[in-house]
Structure 1
Amino acid sequence: MAKKWYRIIFILLISFTLFTCIDPYVPQLRSFESRLVVDALITDEVTANYVRLSRSVSNPDDITEKVSGATVILTDDLGNSFILEERNPGDYRTDSLLFRGEPGRTYTLSVETAEGGQYESTPCMMLPVQDIDSLYYQRDRIFSDETGEFREGISFYIDSEEESTAGHYRWSYDEWWKFSVPDPSLFRYINDSTILQVDTIKRTCYAHVHSDVIDIENTVSGNTENLKGKMVHFVAPAESDRLLIQYCLEVRQMSLSAEEYEFWYLMSGINEAGGDIFDKQPYQVFSNIRNLNDPEDQVIGYFQVSAVKMQRLYVTVREALALGLPMYQYECDRQEKGPIDYPSISPGGGMTFDEIYWAHLNSGYTFIKPIFTDQNALYRLAFVRSACADCTLRGTMQKPWFWVDLN
C-alpha cells in the first residue's frame, strides 16, 4: 500500500506542474519541489489513530524521507486538544486510552514541523455509519483482464440494511491466514562434520495483507441497493496458500464527507490511469490541509475522519474444499545432492559438501536436513525453495490477538 500511495503522489506532483489545455502542447515541467505528505486517519475505533508525515520524492522508487520531531495536535469542537506521540520516525499516534473519535464531533489537525512550518486542516466532522449486518461468501467465477481467463474462487459480500445519513462510504479490508510450509528446515549446516538441529522449526505462521483497493460509494441520490450484496473481495484458492488451513477476512465500512469522497474519487481515477499522466487530462491536486504561512506550499494527502463498523469472517480449509474449488500446490523443487552426484572427471574435480551447500543457497534454496547412509555416513544434503522451508519469510509465528482456531 505504501509503495502504491507514493507512486500516486508522484503522479499528482507531475500533474500539478502541467498546463491543462485542449490544444496540443509540450508540457514544461518545473524543477522538483519537495512537499509535505500527510496520511492521517481518525476513527471512533478503540485503537491508536495515526498521522504519518513524510516528504515527497522526485522518483517514486526513492527512499521516502520521514518527517520527525514535529508537533502534531488534534483539536475537537469542544476545545479539547490531544497531542500525538511519535512512535516511529514520521509515525504519530494517539493514546487509545485517552482519545477516541466520536460521531457528530468535528476535528482539526495541526502540525508544526521541526523547521517551523505550520500546517492546519479544515475542520472535519465525523459522520455516523450504519452497521454491517452480515458478511458472507459464496463460490464465484470471475474473468481476469490480465490473463484473459476465468478465475475460480470465493467472493465475499456485505449487507447493510439500516438507513444512514452519511451518504458517502469507503470500504477497506485486512486478510489474515494461517499456513504451514511443507518442508521446514530441521537442521543447520556448519560443515560436513557439524550439522546441528535448529533452535526453532519455522513451520506454521500467520500472514497479513492490508487492502490497497480504493472502494467508495455515493448513495446521496438514494441508491442504497449498493449496500446490499456488495462484493468487497475475491480469493482464488489455487493462487495462494490463503485457504489451506484457515483464513480470516476483516471488513471495515467507513463514513465519508462529500469532500473526502471527492478526494478518494480523484485517487481512484489516477489509479485507473495506470500511472500514465498522458492517459487522461491532468488532475487538480487538492488537500484539506494547508500551510498557514505559505499558501503556495501545496500539501499532498488528506486528513481523514470516519466512523467505522467492522466485521470478521473465518473460512476453514474444510469449508473451502466443500465448495469443490481447486487448491494451492506448493512448488518446492526439492533437491537431494551429494558429492556422489558430481563425479570427478579429473584430479581435484567434483564438488564437496560445502560447495554443494553454498551453490544451493546462492540459487535460492534452503538446507532442510542431512541424508545419511545405513552406516551413518553423510550421503546427501536436502534442499527446497526457501518459501517452503521457513514460514517467517512471509509471515509471523505470533498468532493475531483476535485469532480463534476453528479446525
Structure 2
Amino acid sequence: MITSLKILIISLSVLLLIHSCFEPYDNKDENFKPNLIVDAEISDTDTSHIIKISEAQKTDIQTFKGYSGAKVLLKSNENDELVFSETTTVGHYKYIGVLNDAKGYALEVQVNGKVVVTSPIQYFPESFMVDSLRNYTEYVRTQKPNGSVFQEYIVNFNAEARKPTIEKEVFVRFDIETVFLVLELICSPFISPKTCYVYNHRSNFEINLLKVPVSTSEINISQKIFSKTLDYEFGGAFSVKADVKSYNQENFKYWQQYKSVFDQSGSVDDLIPARISGNLTSSSGNVLGLFSLVRKSSVFKIIRRGEAGGRSVEPYCGTPGFYEPWPRPSECCECLRFANSTLTKPYYW
C-alpha cells in the first residue's frame, strides 16, 4: 500500500513538472494582438472579388485560421464605398461587380466598429497582353548517384509576345492553372461513365515574374512559365491557362520578395502569398499581406493526345477496346475521387 502511494506521488510530481515546462496558449489574453493576414488582390476584369483575412496563432506563426466578423470595404478617391460580405467560408469576404478602372481605391478593414487595417490608395497599372503560349518537348537524361541514368520527356510552356514599343516599364506575374481530362471506364452496366476535369493535379508551380523595360523599338518576349513531365495527364487532353497580371512597381517588389522566400523554402505549402509585410498598416501594428489592383488578361493552350512533341502516352484509364489498366484504379470507376476534379468543363475548352 505504501509502495503504491509512493508511485502515485512520484507520477503526479512528474506530470506537474512536465506541465510547468510548457506555456499554455491563452486565447483570452487581453494583451494578445493577433497578426492579421490580408490577401487582397482585385483585378479590372473579374465580376466578383474575394478578399481573404486570417490571423496567425500566438504559439506558431505558421498556423492560420480565418478571421470572421470584420467589415471589409474599398473606398474610392471619389468617396464611393464598396462593401464586401462575408461568405460561408470563414475569413472570405466577397464583392460582386466590376470596379471602375479609372478610379483609385484604398482598403479598409474594421473590427467592432474600429478601423484596424488600412492601405494607401491604389490605381490600376499599365496592362500587358501576351500573344500566345507555345509548347515544346525536350528529352532529359539525369545520372543518379548510383550511376544509373534516368530518362524522361519534359513539356515546357512559354509565354510569347511581340510589341512594337514599350512606352512605360511593365511588371507582370503569371498565375497558372492546369486541367487534364479523365474518361471513366464502363464499370457497371447500370451506370454510365462520366467525364471529369482535374485541376492543378500534382503541379509544382513556380513564382513567374517578368519585368519589361521601356523600349523604342520592337521587342520579342519569350519566357518559360511552366514545365511538366510527359505522363498520363497528356493521354487525353491537357491545358495550361496563364492569367497575365500587371502590377505597379511597389506591389511587384512585394512579389519579388515573396519569390525570394519561396525559392529558399522550396515548397508552395511552406508559404502563402500573404505572410510577408506589404503595403498595409494596422492600428495594432500587426498586419501582413498586400492590397493591389491589377490588370488581368488570360491566354491558354490545349494539348491533345500525340501533340506533345509528336509523342503519345496512354491516358490514366487507358483506351477502351485496346488497353485498360488492371486492376482498375478506383478513379476510373469514379473520377471525382481525383483531388480538385469536377464535371464542369473549363470555360476556355
TM-score by length of 2: 0.73
Are 1:268 and 2:259 matched, yes or no? yes
Are 1:85 and 2:85 matched, yes or no? yes
Percent of pairs with identical residues:
15
Contact 2:134 2:158 in 1 (8 A): yes
Are 1:242 and 2:233 matched, yes or no? yes
Look up the equivalent residue of 1:248 and give its one-letter code.
Answer: S
Following the alignment from structure 1 to structure 2, what is the Cα–Cα distance between the partners of residues 122 and 393?
A: 45
* Counterpart in the other structure of 2:76: 76
Contact 1:167 1:218 in 2 (8 A): yes
* Counterpart in the other structure of 1:174: 177
Deviation readout 1:324-372 (Å, 9 max, x if unpaired): 255566699845xxxxxxxxxxxxxxxxxxxxxxxxxxxxxxxxxxxxx
1:288–1:248 Cα change, 3 Å: same
Following the alignment from structure 1 to structure 2, what is the Cα–Cα distance between the partners of residues 160 and 201?
A: 44
Any stretches of 5+ residues in structure 1 without a counterpart? 1-30, 188-196, 277-283, 336-383
1:77–1:116 Cα change, 3 Å: closer
Are 1:218 and 2:211 matched, yes or no? yes
Any stretches of 5+ residues in structure 2 without a counterpart? 1-30, 268-274, 319-323
Are 1:118 and 2:62 matched, yes or no? no
Contact 2:39 2:290 in 1 (8 A): yes
Look up the equivalent residue of 1:298 and give its one-letter code.
Answer: N
| 1:214-363 correspondence to structure 2 within 5 Å | 214-220=207-213, 228-238=221-231, 241-274=232-265, 285-291=276-282, 293-294=283-284, 297-320=285-308, 323-324=310-311, 326-327=313-314, 334=326
1:399–1:302 Cα change, 3 Å: same
TM-score by length of 1: 0.63
From 185, 188, 204, give the equivalent of 1:186: 188
1:132–1:223 Cα change, 3 Å: same
Aligned residues between the structures: 297
Contact 1:157 1:231 in 2 (8 A): yes
Contact 2:84 2:95 in 1 (8 A): yes
Following the alignment from structure 1 to structure 2, what is the Cα–Cα distance between the partners of residues 140 and 177?
A: 20
Moved more, 326-335 or 297-306: 326-335
Contact 2:41 2:294 in 1 (8 A): yes
Are 1:398 and 2:343 matched, yes or no? yes
Provide the secondary structure at the position in 2 that maps to 1:399: coil
Contact 1:129 1:166 in 2 (8 A): no
Moved more, 388-397 or 246-255: 388-397
Kindly state the Cα deviation for residue 398 of structure 1 after the two structures are TM-superposed.
2.0
Following the alignment from structure 1 to structure 2, what is the Cα–Cα distance between the partners of residues 50 and 164?
A: 32
Kindly state the Cα deviation for residue 319 of structure 1 after the two structures are TM-superposed.
2.1
Deviation readout 1:17-55 (Å, 9 max, x if unpaired): xxxxxxxxxxxxxx9963101111101113312100111
1:390–1:227 Cα change, 3 Å: farther
